[in-house]
Chains A and B, each alone.
Chain A
Amino acid sequence: MTREYQRMATLLKPDPTFYPSARTAAEAPPETLAYIVTFDPTAKTPDALEVLDVDPKSGDFGKRVGRLEMPHTGDELHHFGWNACSSALCPWAPHPHVERRYLVVPGLRSSRIHIIDIKGDPRAPKLSKVIEPEELARKANYSRPHTSHCGPDGIYMSALGAPDGGGPGGIFILDHETFEVKGAWEKDRGGQELAYDFWWHLGQDVLISSEWGTPKMVESGLNGEILLSGGYGHRLHIWDLPKRALKQTIDLGSQHQMPLELRPSHDPNQTWGFVGVVTSLEDLSASIWTWHRKDSGEWAAEKVISIPAEPADPSQLPPVLQPFKAVPPLVTDINLSLDDRWLYVSCWGTGELKRYDVADPFKPRETGSVRLGGIVERSPHPASEPLNGGPQMVEVSRDGKRVYLSNSLYATWDDQFYPDGLKSWATKLDATPDGGLKADPNFFVQFEQRAHQVHLQGGDASSDSYCFS
């Protein structure tokens, strides 16, 4: 194993992919490569990081052009992030002469964290280091690493729970030069127990985290008993970033089960953001909430979008949904364009990607929609047969013109909602300035394994944080 990562090259000029603000990042050149992780739900073959050619001028456009297998099996690669990004320009700790060079790729099931080098030939990523689950457990008492964000002072990662599969879940820090686990992030977690996603308002010194469930609550599938008793997460936590302390908890109500992806305004001067809630116990609807800071300094959240369940013939439904005679939309991922103007919402159950104009974040206006897959609809792509799975992980290019999608959620949950066997695909949609959305007929990729998160070379709408507005 190379120890090169321990002394990263120092650049003479800032890494060209770092931008002081989201506004300037939106002027970045279009991406030419995308990275996507795939996993084997049977844990028989190693998971992989794949490289997709997304350059329309290339002869390989829309093709898989590179692949790096992980050294073990059963990782369940899921979300991932970069070693460094635009937050390196933050003025209180500037270090912009480091490189955006390594992908930090955790296995959500194995708790193994892979550090992958894309320098040299970005189509042929190389494994640089593996952090074993024992190191994570010993130094941070966490396991099942999930979200990864490059912060101004290190790499922040969330974890679903403790090594024994119980709680609490939380956040830990990786040294951004040596990739050593530095320990649990929280100094005072108050009543926070469940964890999932986190992000921040860097300009406000505030971190926000959301709740899913501990490993024991999620790993063997969606547990109906826990769900119907409102036992999965339903709260948001507001933290003091420098003090690492919980400041406030916002309860959305236990009927609103599983607030997952957090998308704060990219402009660090703004104090609002969106969170998607998977389902409501009242009517199986999904919802989007806007959190915001009030004049009093307290934070609050209100429901701004409600997406209803669609009635369905029980014979078309998997056993888990038959008693309800309806398909829930299951909002499992959302993404916000860098100009803080457009919100994309994945409805993994009904098989729809919705686009909203959020110029007023409290009054979103739906402007576009594309149907792909879905538990009942099975909508085809222009280049495919009827599809299963649905729009799930969604990523937006820095210029806001292209939206990338993949269709797997989480191995055991895929099997409950798509019991015929989820067949994995990824595609690209074109977003027009007037709010429209349409599938690119020339971009439809299929995988033998199941694809999960996509990140774009040089950065995208969920990879970077900014300290300047």
Chain B
Amino acid sequence: MTWSAYWTGLVVLGAYHGVNPGMGWLFAVARGLQQKSRRAILVSLLPIAIGHEGSVAAILLAAALARPFLDQRGLRFAAAGTLLGFALLLLFRRRLHPYLGMRLSLVGLAAWSFLMSSAHGAGLMAVPLYLGLQVPAPGQLQVPAGVLQALAAATLHTTAMLTVMGIVAVLVYDRFGLGLLRRAWVNLDLIWVGALLVAGVATLFT
């Protein structure tokens, strides 16, 4: 795969999170309905994106910092192990929901999104894609360049998510209504576990 395929992968992954009601657009629509305002939806999406960015960036930064100290094989092994382990954790965990409620502040909303994205393993899935990116400035594998690249990867991913979330949220609020949930909400969590497993195995053998 070329490096552009990995950047595209990060965008697609962001779009996938954007479509998932559990990752934020549904909460944004709920707040819009509560405040009877479409603007409230858009205002809510921003902290949701910030929380997501924080969660994904934290993981990618960890990978960026580890990168100079591990060879390619070691990195892939660690990434694959984490992905497979996390997939199994999601499969067998007990669902834990501390009561956060409907009346979160914007800061609370960002914290909620951070927790939700982290519990989902959103950043972990981005790691193999990040590792596929061309190392900046060949021969000068230095931490700062890697860090910048990790942040760029997280931001591109989150921007894609935010865009898709925004479109879905406004369409549901203005056009389709929440009845759509009953028909169209396929179990993305189950698909996600499968995707983590596939990504883990693929990372191991590429």
A-B complex is real: yes
21 contacts between A and B (CB under 8 A): A10-B189, A11-B187, A13-B185, A14-B185, A16-B182, A18-B182, A20-B182, A24-B182, A89-B181, A92-B100, A93-B97, A94-B21, A96-B185, A153-B98, A203-B34, A204-B102, A205-B102, A205-B103, A241-B101, A242-B99, A469-B34
Given known contacts A20-B179, A96-B181, is B30 in contact with A467 (CB within 8 Å)?
yes
Do B33 and A468 touch across chains, with their CB atoms under 8 A apart? yes
A90 within 8 A of B: yes
Interface residues of A in 61-98 (CB under 8 A from B): 89-97
Query: Are the CB atoms of A202 and B102 closer together than 8 Å?
Result: yes
Chain A residues near B99 (CB-CB < 8 A) = 152-153, 241-242, 244
Q: Which residues of B contact A242 (CB under 8 A)?
A: 99-101
Given A91-B26, A268-B102, A467-B102, also A97-B178 (CB < 8 A): no
A21 within 8 A of B: yes
Which residues does chain A contribute within 8 Å of B33, judged by CB atoms?
Answer: 269, 468-469
Point out which of A24, A92, A244 has the most chain B C-beta atoms below 10 A from its C-beta: A92
**CB of A272 to closest CB in B, whole Å:** 16
Interface string of A441-469 (1 = CB under 8 A from B): 00000000000000000000000000111
Interface flags for A325-357 (1: CB within 8 Å of B; 0: not) read 000000000000000000000000000000000
Q: In angstroms, how far is the closest chain A Cβ from the Cβ of B77?
A: 30
In whole Å, how far is A95's beta carbon from the nearest beta carbon of chain B? 6
Is A178 among interface residues, defined by CB-CB distance under 8 A?
A: yes
Q: In the docked arrangement, what's the CA distance between A202 and B102, Å?
A: 7
Given contacts A11-B187, A241-B101, A268-B102, 7 further A-B contacts (CB under 8 A): A10-B189, A14-B182, A92-B101, A94-B21, A97-B189, A202-B102, A203-B34
State the CA gap A177–B30 with chains docked (Å): 26
- Taken together as a complex, chains A and B put the C-alpha atoms of A205 and B183 apart, in Å, by 28
- B102 touching A177, Cβ below 8 Å: no
Contact status B103-A204, CB under 8 Å: yes
Question: How far is A469 from B190 in the complex, measured between Cα atoms in Å?
Answer: 28
Complex Cα gap A152–B29 (Å): 17
Q: When the two chains form their complex, are residues B100 and A93 in contact, meaning their CB atoms are under 8 A apart?
A: yes
Residue of B nearest to A176 (CB): B95
Residue A19, interface by CB 8 Å: yes
Do the beta carbons of B27 and A91 come within 8 Å of each other? yes
Residues of A within 8 A of B112 (CB): 92
Contact partners of B183 in chain A: CB under 8 A: 13
Q: In A403-427, which residues have CB < 8 Å from any B CB?
A: none
**Per-position binary interface string of chain B over residues 159-183, scored 1 when its CB falls under 8 Å from any chain A CB and 0 otherwise:** 0000000000000000000110111
Residue ID in chain B nearest A6 by CB atoms: B94
- A residues in contact with B26, CB < 8 Å: 91, 94
Contact of A153 among B97, B104, B179, B190 (CB under 8 A): B97
A177→B92 CA distance, assembly (Å): 12
Question: Chain A residues near B178 (CB, 8 Å)?
Answer: 20-21, 24, 468
A12 CB within 8 Å of chain B: yes
B22 within 8 A of A: yes
B38-58: CB near A (< 8 Å → 1, else 0) gives 000000000000000000000
Residue of A nearest to B35 (CB): A269
Q: Considering only CB atoms, which chain A residue lies closest to B177 in the complex?
A: A24
Cβ of A175 within 8 Å of any chain B Cβ, yes or no, is yes
List which A18-32 residues lie within 8 A (CB) of chain B. Answer: 18-21, 24
Q: How many angstroms between the C-alpha atoms of A269 and B37 in the bound complex?
A: 13
Say yes or no: A94 contacts B22, CB within 8 Å: yes
List 8 tightest A-B contacts by C-beta distance, closest first: A91-B27, A205-B101, A20-B178, A153-B97, A93-B97, A91-B26, A242-B101, A91-B30
User: Is B186 an interface position by the 8 A CB rule?
Assistant: yes
Chain A residues within an 8 Å CB radius of B97:
93, 95, 152-154
Among the interface residues B26, B182, B189, which one has the most CB atoms of the partner chain A within 10 A?
Answer: B182
Q: Nearest chain-A residue to B109 (Cβ)?
A: A92
Provide the bound-state CA to CA distance between A314 and B185, in Å.
63
Report which of B21, B94, B190 forms a contact with A91, defined as CB distance below 8 A.
B21
Interface residues of B in 1-50 (CB under 8 A from A): 21-22, 26-27, 29-30, 33-34
**Does A12 lie within 8 Å of B190, measured CB to CB?**
yes
Q: Are A13 and B104 interface neighbours, CB within 8 A?
A: no
Chain B residues closer than 8 Å to A244, beta-carbon distance: 99
C-alpha gap A288/B99 in the complex (Å): 31
Give complex CA distance A91, B178 in Å. 12
Q: How far apart are A171's CB and chain B's nearest CB, in angstroms? A: 13
**Minimal beta-carbon separation of A264 from chain B (angstroms):** 14
Question: How far apart are the CA atoms of A73 and B20 in the complex, in Å?
Answer: 48
Least Cβ–Cβ distance between B51 and chain A, in angstroms: 12
Q: B187 to A13, Cβ gap below 8 A?
A: yes
Least CB separation from B94: chain A residue? A177
| A18 to B102 Cα, complex, angstroms | 18
A332 to chain B, nearest CB (A): 31
A11 to B103, CA, bound (A): 29
Which of chain A's residues have a CB closer than 8 A to the CB of B187? 10-13, 97
Q: Are B103 and A177 in contact (CB under 8 A)?
A: no
Q: Is the CB of A92 within 8 A of B181?
A: no
Which residues of B have CB within 8 Å of A152?
Answer: 97, 99
Specify the chain A residue showing the minimal Cβ separation from B102.
Answer: A203
Give the contacts of B178-206 with A (CB-CB under 8 A): 178-179, 181-183, 185-187, 189-190
